[in-house]
Amino acid sequence: MGVSGSGKSLVGEAFARALNVTFVEGDAYHPAENVARMAAGIPLTDDDRAGWLRALAARIREAEDAGTGLVMTCSALKRSYRDVLRGDADEVRFIFLKGPRTLLAERLAGRSGHFMPASLLDSQFAALEEPTPDERAWECDIAESPEDIVAALMARAR
């Protein structure tokens, strides 16, 4: 979890590979209307995100029911979003990729081919509710290399 540009896809895919589990790109579950809104620089509302979050939660439940591991990317900016994703599954673990706005803006400025424009970074920070201790999220500093982040996550996962 984290704002756009935090490295969710890069770290998530590498972490899933290291764990030998399925990787799910949460952005792929956005309906076309959400993608179009974001591409136009329009921040999503809670209502816009509701169906997307339910679809991701259903995918998490599928993996749980099958007894398989899963690494999924999702901004999960608010506690209420994480609650939807978590449902009643205590084993869902959030990894918060955290970093300063300046670094994130720099990354977004250098990124091409993604629907999420850098202009929405401020709206993401405005919506962000960092995980509280009771959520037991693992926090990672995005200034670290993706390889170092994954190595630290693997050490914690054991």
Which residue range forms the structural domain that includes residue 82?
A: 8-157
- Domain membership of residue 3 (yes or no) is no
Please state the domain count of the chain.
1
Q: Which one-letter amino acid corresponds to residue 40?
A: A
- Domain membership of residue 1 (yes or no) is no
- Domain membership of residue 117 (yes or no) is yes
The pTM of the whole model exceeds 0.85? yes
Residue 70's domain is classified under what CATH number? Answer: 3.40.50.300
51, 30, 9, 115 alpha-carbon torsion, rounded to 10°: -140
- Give the pLDDT confidence of 120-139 residue by residue, as tens digits: 788 888 999 999 999 999 99
Confidence label for 109 from pLDDT (cuts 50, 70 and 90): confident
- Domain membership of residue 2 (yes or no) is no
Reference 85, options 115, 59, 118; nearest CA is: 59
